[in-house]
Amino acid sequence: MEKSLEKIPNSASLLQINNIHKTYESKRGKVEALRGIRFECQTKEFTAIIGQSGCGKTTLLRIIAGLELPTAGEVEIEGRKTSAPGFDRAMVFQEPRLFPWLTVEKNVSFGLKDHAHLTGVSVENILRMVGLEHVKKAYPHELSGGMAQRAAIARALAFHPKVLLMDEPFSALDAQTRAKMQHELLGIWKETNKTILFVTHDIGEALLLSQKVLVMTPAPGQVKEIIPINLPYPRDPDSGELIRLKKYLTEHIR
Ligand SMILES: Nc1ncnc2c1ncn2[C@@H]1O[C@H](COP(=O)(O)OP(=O)(O)OP(=O)(O)O)[C@@H](O)[C@H]1O
């Protein structure tokens, strides 16, 4: 397997993670969550991040989103350092986090009114893309789990971010809905050309979706290995190559 840990940052890359460290100070004392994380993502690249529970995946995504500050290191987008949330990054969480008092349409367009160029046709297009046009007037409690998560994805896309950060977005869904959403996400990715960073516990999901899999070590999280997945889409989970990679990663993640 190819190791890319020492890869020299490429000026053409969209996202660069430069030697990120994170230590939390809590009543329990210091918790070192991340140690020296380095990697980069190219424009339109789909990267999956896997690792054991507690290895710092969510912390890493929150730092990239600007929701958390690193103890050391930097996040760069198109060569510019960033340490606060911005419209160039959008996050999708495990649970949809919709406003219960707003319709699907209003949830998706929430906060867009100061960005007139993004409203109107754009929201209609996004709702069509995620397959929610028919329920745009519905409220979150009227949606299935899959629909609610589609609405969360639509809301993330509404600001046209450069990077879509997804933290186990399908893990609360049943297996059938999850498989459907994985397929649909690939369609959305193809249509929008977003750069996607996708955290998952599920090695199979990482292999079906991503162009490279970043494997983290157990805590404190470090980059153990970055594995390119150079296979065409749609991928067959039962193909020999995917089964071989799954076996390798299952052994490797321990
Ligand atoms: N706000 C916080 N204060 C103190 N410690 C924290 C905080 N957030 C996370 N941690 C600790 O940092 C470490 C990494 O947590 P994190 O949630 O990033 O891991 P994870 O890989 O996403 O876990 P999981 O796969 O279980 O969701 C854990 O030891 C966790 O307890």
What is the chain's mean pLDDT, rounded?
91
C-alpha span between 103 and 61 (Å, rounded): 28
Q: Which two tokens stand for residue 185?
A: 């996400």
> Roughly how many angstroms between the first and final C-alpha of the chain, as a whole number?
17
What is the number of the ligand 1 atom nearest to the C-alpha of 167? 22
What is the per-residue pLDDT across 121-175, written as a single tens digit (0 to 9) for each?
588 899 999 999 999 999 999 999 999 999 999 999 998 899 999 999 999 999 9
For residue 242, tell me if it sits in a domain.
yes
User: What domain range is 29 assigned to?
Assistant: 13-84+164-169+195-253
Distance 190 CA to ligand 1 centre (A): 32
pLDDT at 5 over 50: no
Residue 214's DSSP bridge partners are 49, 226
For residue 44, tell me if it sits in a domain.
yes
For residue 40, tell me if it sits in a domain.
yes
- Using CB atoms within 10 Å of the CB of residue 176, give its burial: 0 to 12 exposed, 13 to 18 middle, 19+ buried: exposed
Residue bearing the CA closest to ligand 1, atom 5:
24
The three-class DSSP label of residue 163 is strand
Residue bearing the CA closest to ligand 1, atom 17:
58
- Determine whether the shortest distance from the Cβ of 56 to ligand 1 is under 6 A: yes
Instruction: Domain count for the chain, please give it.
Output: 1
Distance 109 CA to ligand 1 centre (A): 31
Q: What is the mean pLDDT of residues 76-101?
A: 95
Distance 10 CA to ligand 1 centre (A): 30
The more confident residue out of 64 and 5 is 64
Name the pTM for this structure: 0.92
Q: Ligand 1, from 27, 31, 61, 95: best to mutate by most atoms within 8 Å of Cβ?
A: 31
Q: Are 219 and 37 in contact (CB under 8 A)?
A: no
- Determine whether the shortest distance from the Cβ of 58 to ligand 1 is under 6 A: yes
pLDDT band at 190 (very low <50, low <70, confident <90, very high): very high
For residue 144, tell me if it sits in a domain.
no
Q: What is the mean pLDDT of residues 97-109?
A: 95
pLDDT of residue 252: 82
pLDDT band at 111 (very low <50, low <70, confident <90, very high): confident
Q: Ligand 1, from 20, 24, 30: best to mutate by most atoms within 8 Å of Cβ?
A: 24
Instruction: Using the CB atoms, write b or e for 126-153: b if 16+ within 10 Å.
Output: bbebbbbeebbeebbeebebbbbbbbbb
Beta-strand ranges (E) seen in the chain are 15-26, 29-41, 46-50, 72-77, 80-82, 89-92, 163-167, 195-199, 212-216, 223-228
For residue 217, tell me if it sits in a domain.
yes
pLDDT of residue 116: 57
pLDDT at 119 over 90: no
For residue 35, tell me if it sits in a domain.
yes
For residue 225, tell me if it sits in a domain.
yes
Q: Which residues make Cβ contacts (< 8 Å) with residue 189, sequence separation at least 6?
A: 46, 196
- Determine whether the shortest distance from the Cβ of 200 to ligand 1 is under 6 A: no
- Determine whether the shortest distance from the Cβ of 24 to ligand 1 is under 6 A: yes
For residue 90, tell me if it sits in a domain.
no
pLDDT of residue 112: 78
pLDDT of residue 159: 86
Tokens 């929008």 belong to 192
Q: Which two tokens stand for residue 200?
A: 């998952």
Q: What percent of the chain has pLDDT over 70?
A: 92
- Determine whether the shortest distance from the Cβ of 245 to ligand 1 is under 6 A: no
pLDDT at 16 over 90: yes
What is the per-residue pLDDT across 150-163, written as a single tens digit (0 to 9) for each?
999 999 999 889 99
C-alpha span between 37 and 55 (Å, rounded): 12
Q: What is the mean pLDDT of residues 223-237?
A: 95
C-alpha span between 20 and 189 (Å, rounded): 27
> Which CATH number goes with the domain that contains 34?
3.40.50.300
